[in-house]
Structure 1
Amino acid sequence: MFNFSSGGDEGVFLPEREEAYFSGFARMFKISNIDRYFLPTQKGSMPIPVLKNYKKGLDRIAKDPRRVFLEKTEVTREKIAKGYGARADEIAISRNTTDAISQVLYGIDWRRDEEILCSTLEYPNCIATIRRVACRFGLTIRQFGVPSRHDTHAEEIVESARRGIVPGKTKVMFFSAPAQPNGMMLPFRRLARLAQHYGIITVVDGAHYGGMFNPRLDDTGIDFWGISGYKWQCGPGGTGILYVRNALLESNNTPLPRFNLVRSADLHAPIDGSRPLDFDIGAALSHYGFPESADLRALGEACEIWDRAGRARIERYILWLADYAREKLVAVFGEHALLQACKDEELKSGLVAFNPFPEKEQRRDLQLAHRFNARLSRKYGYRLGYGGIGLNGFTRDPEPDAGRFYEGCVPNRNALTNEPEPEDIPFRFGTPVWINRKDIDRFIKACRKTLDSVA
């Protein structure tokens, strides 16, 4: 069914060859050739072969609803595990990233007065979940700032996190990789090693990780990943991947944390949070009634297409396009326009955050951002993500620091002092596999014209 194999010498990156290859790859998607879709950060596009089989599956189940599973979940989980560098017993199928993260955070064996250490660059859904968990279990939420200067180095972020750790109190370190507000990839391997040193559990929001990067989950040292199946991975909506480290690994040989299953129909799974050696926790977490199995099968098939194309090759193409976009943005609008680290390769992703307005006051004007985004969409057909969580993050009224943030900002903090350090309102776009340099050139030209009309 899927014969779009990688081929070629993946050890040498030749731009013209890669654009030609991915031009062919792009024909598997129903994306418009006129106004390319730059927002896999919200929802990806199912490849046509997957979409066709998905429709057949829905039709088949509609005709015979007794056929609950078109494909056994263990088969789908095996497909996912193969491409994600994990064992099948560590992979569960969730409904989305928020669903996966919620199961993890509510399943951790919390004790009152423990602390959860979070980055300042978290997604609204996860902020909401963390605040509820903290309230329910009597936890303290502590934040560490993520410097986003162009020359920020990964170790600065690690040291910022280190300063936020309270030995004996910090139970969990939570962060996104990449981070949604400004697209920065956080140095997850370094942060995992730091957490292990202090006996801290790591939980990562990887909504934009799967499908963008070449995932080797068992090599990351992270305890829990929540990953979207329908963003960069281009599976159907309402699918996600939950990774639960289920063994002592070279990257992380600390004892497995106790983990209570919040949602599972497995009658034989442990009920006390323990992890027997032969416990297939992925199967237990994937057993929760009768989901639409055409969704699950389609997710596995989308993963197979990525595997055949070569995940390392896809990652390099996406990151190369993002670098090209950053260079063009700086050339057209100036260095101030780029709102993310761009010198350290470890901190780059295929998510680009920018604000083209020349004056700081303009870059912090939410109404101006609304007008820019609306005109870019209406006049040129491009849709962007924009804005930070502003006054609705972890710091909010009546806390004294809340007044130092503003509506629509990224509510960051200084990595050294942890003082509030709000950042400009970001516009965000991605560099998915179906675009090329000409698409980026047209997009930035449209941004330039839009800026001239609304500034």
Structure 2
Amino acid sequence: MQDASGKQLESSVGLTNLSLEDEARWSVKRRDFLRMLGYGASAAALGPLMAGCGGANGQTTVEGLRAKLVQDEAFWTDVQNMFVLRTDKTYMNIGTAGSMPEVVLSVFQEENFAKAADSLNGYGTHADLRALVAPGFGVDSDELAFSANTSSGMCHAILGIDWQAGDVVVTTNHEHGGGDTPLAIAVDRFGIEVSRISMPVGNNQSAATYVELFDERIRALKAQGKRVRAMMWSSPTYKTGTMLPIADLMEVVKTHELISIVDGAHLPGMMAYDYGALGVDFMSGAGHKWQCGPGSTGILIIRNKIRSSNPLPLPNWYPVHTSYYNTTPRTTNGTATYDVAASVTTCGSVHTPMFKALVRACELWDTIGRKKIETYDLTLSSYLKEKIVELWGVDALYSPKDDPKLLSALTSFNPFRNANDIMDQAKSSEFVSRMLADYSPGFVIRNAGFDVIGAPSQHYGVRVSTHLWQDANDVDRLVAAMWEVSNAMA
């Protein structure tokens, strides 16, 4: 297999097209996985991947999702072998931090040695590196910046806008501090106002729910004489994993002629989005989470030309942390007048090995196929959600499962038999701790507190991240363990 630059991937990556008949080459995990299903070497008889997940040959939704995961299980086992994760843990907290594959670690090490050996600096806009990554995100290199992380990118985006006193930003009450903090600074520094929409939770919601919530709030504010200037939202929210539908919300943005700011911390490496086609003004994402690059790396998309996806004028925006400043007016057509992303990427001498390793991770994702990764991640997540529903019931979910526009690879739910226990932060944290301590391998998951409409206090939902180094067998073990801990804590 070749990477995006045409180079042959290292043999240690192991991304070969193994047939299911190659049982002698299977790992113990792979053999046990198929043996548990009762397929063995006859798994090849599964045939083409089914289009749906339920109803075919009497399959339940859970069985259909499992069949999808098993169908390409050999390929994903090879992908799992790219990583150096410890075997005494099942790491399901990618939403907090990912893991660099071996080939990315190798680039990071080699570049660090090269930098030290020749005392290299990191000055420049690194346009060559950005040009390698930008196509995978559907934008040009002048629209893709390297930032320090999502929070850094959100500070660049929000604090660089030419806010005026009285401008209103409509957002939600489930935002991360990475977006809320620069908003709070803009309130105190520029006199803007923030209007928060209370987020629904659970399965009883759809993409239309969010279109209505944002549109109705904006219209109500305008009716009060308010000057609504921007919309800011997380896709997905880190609290519940709900994927606020970017394309649908962009229609609201364009209707009301607003600036769009997306906290996309979890998008790079999870979702195969074309940001040029979406037309967002700003999308700030992490390089170290689902994209599995080094820490202190992020990707910030800045709209820098007019496309049919968003014909609105580019917002006035100024760099806030840079050693590159171009005073040329921003374009009013489809051709950029200058490289706006350069102003975010360069600030003195940066540590280039980090970004070269991030580029290698992005190239690897492009080679595997970003859409293939997205499909696998979402299938794993849907399988987990359906398994939770089988045991705890659909009302235990904080993450929606039925509207595909709202799906992400994050799953948040209430594991307690007494539903009110989810408002006990200490008990929720104990559940998370026991999932790691009581099992071998232990499960690394987390919880997050958030407001629930009508609840007397915050809920501390348990959150699970499923990514490309996991499989259906991992999900089965996780759900069985969570059910045991739930029983023990009842």
TM-score (structure 1 length as normaliser): 0.88
Partner deviation per Cα, 1:375-410 (whole Å, 9 max, x = no partner): 22222222222122xxxxxxxxxxxxxxxxxxxxx1
Determine the structure 2 residue equivalent to 1:444. Answer: 479
- Whether the 8 Å CA contact 2:304–2:330 is kept in 1: the answer is no
Amino acid aligned to 2:451: P
Q: Distance in 1 between matches of 2:464 and 2:198?
A: 23
Q: Distance in 2 between matches of 1:145 and 1:329?
A: 25
Kindly state the Cα deviation for residue 57 of structure 1 after the two structures are TM-superposed. 1.1
User: How many aligned positions are there?
Assistant: 426
Kindly state the Cα deviation for residue 12 of structure 1 after the two structures are TM-superposed. 7.0
Kindly state the Cα deviation for residue 112 of structure 1 after the two structures are TM-superposed. 0.2
Amino acid aligned to 1:382: F
Secondary structure in structure 2 of the residue aligned to 1:281:
coil
- Whether the 8 Å CA contact 1:6–1:309 is kept in 2: the answer is no
Q: Percent identity among equivalent residues?
A: 28
- Whether the 8 Å CA contact 2:161–2:318 is kept in 1: the answer is yes
466, 479, 489: which one aligns with 1:431? 466
- Whether the 8 Å CA contact 1:193–1:221 is kept in 2: the answer is no
340, 347, 351: which one aligns with 2:410? 351
Q: Distance in 2 between matches of 1:262 and 1:12?
A: 50
85, 96, 100: which one aligns with 1:31? 85
Q: Which one has the largest radius of gyration?
A: 2
Determine the structure 1 residue equivalent to 2:401. Answer: 342
TM-score (structure 2 length as normaliser): 0.82
Secondary structure in structure 1 of the residue aligned to 2:91:
coil
Matched, 1:59 2:99: no
Kindly state the Cα deviation for residue 369 of structure 1 after the two structures are TM-superposed. 0.9
Q: Distance in 1 between matches of 2:455 and 2:163?
A: 28
Matched, 1:49 2:103: yes
Q: Distance in 2 between matches of 1:316 and 1:421?
A: 37
Unaligned runs of 5+ in 1: 389-409, 414-418
Unaligned runs of 5+ in 2: 1-6, 19-46, 52-67
Per mean C-alpha deviation after superposition, the further-off stretch among 8-17 and 306-315 is 8-17
281, 285, 298: which one aligns with 1:223? 281
Secondary structure in structure 2 of the residue aligned to 1:141:
strand
Matched, 1:105 2:158: yes
Per mean C-alpha deviation after superposition, the further-off stretch among 119-128 and 245-254 is 119-128
122, 130, 138: which one aligns with 2:191? 138
Partner deviation per Cα, 1:330-352 (whole Å, 9 max, x = no partner): 11222232112111110010000
Secondary structure in structure 2 of the residue aligned to 1:25:
helix
Kindly state the Cα deviation for residue 2 of structure 1 after the two structures are TM-superposed. 5.2
Kindly state the Cα deviation for residue 7 of structure 1 after the two structures are TM-superposed. 7.4
Matched, 1:411 2:451: yes
Amino acid aligned to 1:216: D
Q: CA RMSD in A?
A: 2.3
Determine the structure 1 residue equivalent to 2:261. Answer: 203
Q: Distance in 1 between matches of 2:416 and 2:455?
A: 23
Per mean C-alpha deviation after superposition, the further-off stretch among 140-149 and 300-309 is 140-149
Amino acid aligned to 1:25: V
Kindly state the Cα deviation for residue 34 of structure 1 after the two structures are TM-superposed. 4.5
Secondary structure in structure 2 of the residue aligned to 1:115:
strand
Q: Distance in 1 between matches of 2:50 and 2:445?
A: 32
Q: Distance in 2 between matches of 1:31 and 1:207?
A: 22
Q: Distance in 2 between matches of 1:19 and 1:115?
A: 49
Per mean C-alpha deviation after superposition, the further-off stretch among 158-167 and 21-30 is 158-167
What aligned pairs does 1:191-270 form with structure 2 within 5 A after superposition?
191-267=249-325, 269-270=326-327
Q: 1:324 to 1:221 in 2, by over 3 A?
A: same
350, 357, 363: which one aligns with 1:304? 363
Kindly state the Cα deviation for residue 285 of structure 1 after the two structures are TM-superposed. 2.1
- Whether the 8 Å CA contact 2:92–2:445 is kept in 1: the answer is yes
Matched, 1:189 2:243: no
